[in-house]
Each structure stands twice: as C-alpha cells, then as structure tokens.
Amino acid sequence: MNFRRLMQIYTVVLIVMGMGVTGVGIIISVSSAQAAVKQAENMATQRASDLVTRYQQVTDDLAANITSDPRRLTNISQYFVLSPARYANYAIDQSQGDAPYYYWPNESYSFMMQHPEVQRLIVTIPRATSNQAFIATQQKKEGSVQKLRGNTPDFFSALINPMSATVDGSIGVDYNKHLLDQQLSAIDVKAHLQVLVLNSDHTIVNHFSDASVATSERRQVTKAVTGDTLAKLKGYTVHSKDIGNEFQLLFVVNKKGLQQLLILRVSEIAAIGITLLFLLSVVLWLMFGTYRRQLDTILDTVKAVGNGDIKARVPATVRQADLSELGEGINRMLSDLDDYIYTIYQLRIAQQEANIKALQAQINPHFMSNTLEYIRMAALDADQPELAKVVYSFAALLRNNTDFSPLTTIQKELDFIDKYVFLYQVRFPRRLAYQITVEPSVAALEIPKFSFQPIVENYFVHGVDFARGDNALHIKATRQENRVTITVANNGKPLSAARVSELNARMQQPLGEAQVHSIGLQNVYSRLRDYFGDSFAMWLASDDDGVTTTIQFTVKPQTAPM
C-alpha cells in the first residue's frame, strides 16, 4: 500500500469520524434544546406556582384579618354607607368600649405600604351597596368608595361572617405583573415558548414570552385565550398545568418557529463540523504531503544505492524529526557499508599478497633447509660437531617460523626457545647460562604458537648485559591440580616499581591500529587471554635479582594427560 492510498484511507476515516461526531453533536443539540424547553416549563411552573400561592396567601390573610372580629366587618360596612366625617366619629365611638380603634382607610394604607407588589385592593360589601366597591391603589393607599370598573381582580377571597357563616363580601387583589415577568425572565431559552397564568375565571393574569416570540405570535395566542378558541389554534403545541388555588399555567410553543430554531442550530453544528473536516483534511494533506515528499527523497536515495550508486546520500533537506533521524541513520549505514566494501577490497588484496608470500615461504624455506642440511653434513665431515649443532638449531628455528599452525604444545614451544637461546649462547660462550624445566603433566598442553618467544626476546633486547659473565635465564613450567604456571626469570637489568606497574597495565590494553612498537607483551597477553579466557593471568615482577614474568591459566581435568 503506497503513501497516497494510505492518505486517502486516513481522509475517509477522518470524514466518517467527523460525520459521526457531528451527528452525535446534532443529536445532543436537539436533545439539549428539547430538555431546555422541558426545564423552562418546570421552572415556569415552580416560580409561577410559588408566586401565585404567595399572592393568594396574602389575599387570604387580609380576609382572615377582617373576619377575625365581626365588628371589623361591620365597621367596613359602615364605611360604605356613612360620610367620611360620620364614619370617623363612628370609629372613635366604637373604640370607647373594650374594642380597639379600627379605621379602615388606615388599615388599607398600612396594607398597601406593607405590600408594594399590590397594584389594586378591592373590597365589596353587597349588603351595603351593590354597585360600588372600596378601591385602593399604590397612588391612593387609603382608598375610597367608588363605582367598580375594569376587569375582575386577579386574586380574591370571600369575607365570611363568623357569626352567621354567610358571605358578606369579598376582597380582590391585583398584583404587579412585572414581578412574575421578572421571575420568568430567568428562563433563558429561545424556543418560541409562551407561558400564560390564568385565574379561576380563565382570565389572563400574566403572559410571558421568550425572546424568540414575535409580537404577532403573542397577539395571536392572547386572542385565542380570551376568545376561548385555543383548541382551534393551528401551528401551536399547547398543554396546561394546574398550580393550585384554581390557577392554571398554559405552555404554548410555535411548532414552525421551534423547527426553524432547531434547523438553525443543526445547520450551525453541521457547518462547524464540515468546516473542521475540511480544515483537518487540508492540514492533513499539507502536513503529510511534505512528509511524503521527504520520504520519497529517502526512497530515491535507497533506490539509487540499490542501482549501484554507493556514494548516494540522503540530502540534508529532510527536516522532519523522525525522517531526519532515519536519513542520518541511512547515511551512517551507507558510509559504514562503503567503508566495509573498501575494507573487504583491501583485505582481498592483502589476501592475495599473503597467498603469494605463503607460496614463496613454502619454496624458500625448503630450499634453505636443504642448503643448511648440506652445510651441517659438511661440518660433520670436517669434524666440526659444534658448527653442525649450530646449523641444526638454526634450521630448526627456520622450520618453526615457516610453520603456520596456530597452536603448539608447551614442550614444542620451549624446545623452540631452547634452540633460540642456544644460538645466543654460541655467540657469547661462557657469558650466558640457561635452564628450561618442564613437568611431564604440562608438556602436551596446547597453547598459541610463539607465546613465550617475545618474553625471552625482551630479555635479550633490554635486559641482558654480555659484558658480564653471569647472565642467566630460567624457564619453568609447572602444574598444581588444574592450575598451570610458567615463569620466565632472568638476572638482567631490574625495573623500577613505576615501570613494572606501567608494563602490567599496558599489556592488558588492546593493541592500537597504528601501534608498531612495544607490542610483544600486549600481543602475548591478548592471544593467551583469548585462548584461555578469564582463568588467564600474566604479570611482571622485578627486584634486585632481575625480572620475572609469570603466566598462569586453568585447564580442564579431561585435557590433562595422565
């Protein structure tokens, strides 16, 4: 699957997910709108019910206060039939006895002061006058008797004579409708919702509408309610709730208006979702387009290398973090591969040279060995056994040097050392003595070839003094259980403690590529360490008697000869 196809799949998945999220958002939005309408109805019911109950309770309390004493009801009846002056005298006369002073205009004034939400107080006493009523307002709190005009009061309560249990009159109260509007205005919903409060006479006490309701809608609903044609009102959803005290709440919703609001809300969410999908798709293609171009650059480099251009490299223009890291890794790999190819090429050349040298080494030693054997025989014929022994030892050294076997035994290695030292002894007679001791239990143990010769050679290069006549070298190979010890001791020039520490530390370090001097001990240590592993140990020690090199390693019991 190529990158473009993968991007198309990602885009389709993104669109499907975006449409799914948008759909869920639309469903949530519609459900939220419906829940908001339901919550608004519940809030309107609660607040209207509380306010209506409180208003009715105030009205009932006033009626109860008047009827609690029959004399008060009689007092008010006298207010209706007497002139103000005569009524004032009447109120004073009534208070001369045990009755408290009761002056109805003062009571009205006090009531209106205590209840500023009351717009109008109406008291009717039919037996006193049938066409007049006491009316008090916030502008005229003490009130007056006047002809009853206007609508029926929103709230009323009967004045029942406690003595005769007859209805002697009624109290009606009109409250400030703005108070209920303020309570309902907390309903923050735009759903073409109208809330109407109706009293027992089916008169509109309050009419609330949210901000989305047009004036024409409000007028249409008001007309339907007052004309009792609400059931015939088309295009509206109407349902009612009783809130006590014979009051009723009407909830009226314009279906078309609500649908338009829902469609608008859905359209907004859909538009936002489509816009986001478009922007995300564009960003995806722009962002991954750059990513794809840089990835193509890396692929082109890899193809170029595959076609034989091993010098091709990923350009530095690849800047994406992961692609940049990938490009740097590929460049490092290609550089290493180039180095490996060059190294292999050099190794092949070196191998060819080694093959040629090996062929030469097979020819020259054979020729020289025959020649030296001829010289040895000639020395024997001339009665020169010492010379013949020297020639034999030299020929043996030559044969050992041209033997490319990687391993030898301790006995053979020390035999080679014996001939090597013998040649020095021949050159400097009576100035060098040596002794080589090999226990039979270690003679046949295999070791890497030329393991001891560099140590002995160091003695002849750095330690021996042929001006002296007591130069001595002692090599000893012993074994204790599975632990083998080889010591090479000489009485040559002693080393300082610092020099001993330096040599012991240096021999354990790996050989440097360009190192050409002082590699004998390091070479011996490295080869024996690789062969015997962690059981191997090697160190130098020096005192006034000379220098001692000790080699130790462990062998498996089954490898030891019995």
pLDDT one-digit tens code per residue, 68-82? 888 888 899 899 888
Q: How far apart are CA 93 and CA 108, in angstroms?
A: 20
What integer best gives the mean pLDDT of the chain? Answer: 80
Q: At the top level of CATH, which class does the domain 407-559 belong to?
A: alpha beta
Facing residues of 436 across strands? 475
Q: Is the model's pLDDT at 551 over the cut of 90?
A: yes
Q: How many CA atoms lie within 13 A of 470 on its CB side?
A: 4
397 vs 254, more confident: 254
Average pLDDT over residues 451-458: 86
Helix then strand then coil, % of the chain, to nearest 5: 55, 20, 25
Q: How many CA atoms lie within 13 A of 241 on its CB side?
A: 15
Range with top average pLDDT, 213-217, 296-300, 336-340, 374-378: 213-217
What separation in angstroms does the CA of 551 have from each of 475, 486, 490, 526? 11, 5, 15, 12
Sorting pLDDT into bands at 50, 70 and 90, what band is 559?
A: very low
Range with top average pLDDT, 100-114, 119-133, 267-281, 301-315: 100-114
493 CB neighbour count, 10 Å cutoff: 13
Q: What is the pLDDT of residue 107?
A: 92
Give me the long-range contacts of 389-396 (CB less than 8 A, separation at least 24).
389/422, 390/422, 390/423, 390/426, 393/419, 393/422, 393/423, 394/419, 394/423, 395/368, 395/369
**Phi, psi of 300, deg, nearest 5:** -60, -40
Inter-residue contact 137 to 120 (CB < 8 Å): yes
293 CB neighbour count, 10 Å cutoff: 12
Q: Is the model's pLDDT at 346 over the cut of 80?
A: no
pLDDT tens digits, 14-33: 788 877 887 787 788 777 76
Q: What is the pLDDT of residue 135?
A: 92
246 vs 197, more confident: 197
Where do we find the tokens 């002697």? 168
Q: What is the pLDDT of residue 560?
A: 44
Helix pair 385-401, 410-427: axis angle to 10 deg: 130
At a CB cut-off of 8 Å and minimum separation 6, what does 404 contact?
A: 358
pLDDT tens digits, 105-131: 999 999 999 999 899 999 998 876 767
Sorting pLDDT into bands at 50, 70 and 90, what band is 514?
A: very low
Q: How far apart are CA 483 and CA 442, in angstroms?
A: 10
CA diameter of the chain: 187
Average pLDDT over residues 424-429: 80
Q: Which two tokens stand for residue 77?
A: 């009846």
pTM: 0.43
Q: What is the pLDDT of residue 520?
A: 79
Could you give the percent of the chain with pLDDT greater than 70? 82
